[in-house]
């Protein structure tokens, strides 16, 4: 029987303030890379909850999703390492809250930084995900969908 294909589901926070976007610089097997605050959906949480959690873990700031930016697919093929992974990214824009005092950034996150769209476009070789720039471009273009476009059935909750 053939193994069923299962993509990795991630949630990303797209945060803009004064013409700059919040990114994280993180350690990867390919060196330091830039990314939107993002991470995997955990069991028992909705995509919006995953996005808020990941933003907090990676930036130290609370984040409240207010709109769905889009659903994106990408594929990371690292054949030498025997990996071929497809990602489904749900990207949200929203409101960045205060930084939690004394909160350490997630393991592997070196720092947060604010970059202009032009700086992000000029650093494509440092992007961890090929979706980083597309999410920024869609945000700049005014793409927004209501959060109601995503429905999480109560059965998802672990409670």
pTM above 0.75, yes or no: yes
Structure tokens at 99: 């930084």
pLDDT tens column, 68-91: 999 999 998 876 667 788 999 999
pLDDT tens column, 86-116: 999 999 999 999 999 999 999 999 999 999 9
Question: Across-strand partners of 11?
Answer: 39, 90
The Cα 36–Cα 19 span in angstroms is: 15
Domains defined along the chain, listed by start: 8-149 (3.90.79.10)
DSSP one-letter code for 42: P
The Cα 18–Cα 70 span in angstroms is: 22
């Amino acid at each position: 029987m053939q193994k069923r294909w299962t993509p990795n589901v991630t949630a990303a926070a797209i945060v803009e303030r004064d013409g700059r976007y919040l990114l994280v610089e993180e350690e990867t097997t390919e060196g330091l890379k830039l990314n939107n605050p993002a991470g995997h959906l955990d069991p028992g949480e909705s995509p919006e909850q995953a996005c808020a959690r990941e933003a907090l873990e990676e930036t130290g700031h609370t984040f409240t999703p207010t709109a769905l930016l889009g659903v994106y697919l990408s594929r990371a093929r690292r054949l030498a390492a025997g990996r071929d992974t497809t990602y489904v990214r749900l990207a949200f824009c929203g409101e960045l809250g205060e930084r939690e005092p004394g909160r350490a950034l997630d393991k592997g996150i070196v720092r947060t930084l604010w970059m202009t769209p032009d700086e992000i476009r000029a650093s494509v070789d440092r992007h961890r995900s090929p979706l980083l720039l597309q999410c920024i471009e869609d945000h700049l273009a005014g793409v927004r969908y209501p959060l109601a476009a995503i429905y999480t059935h109560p059965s998802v909750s672990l409670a």
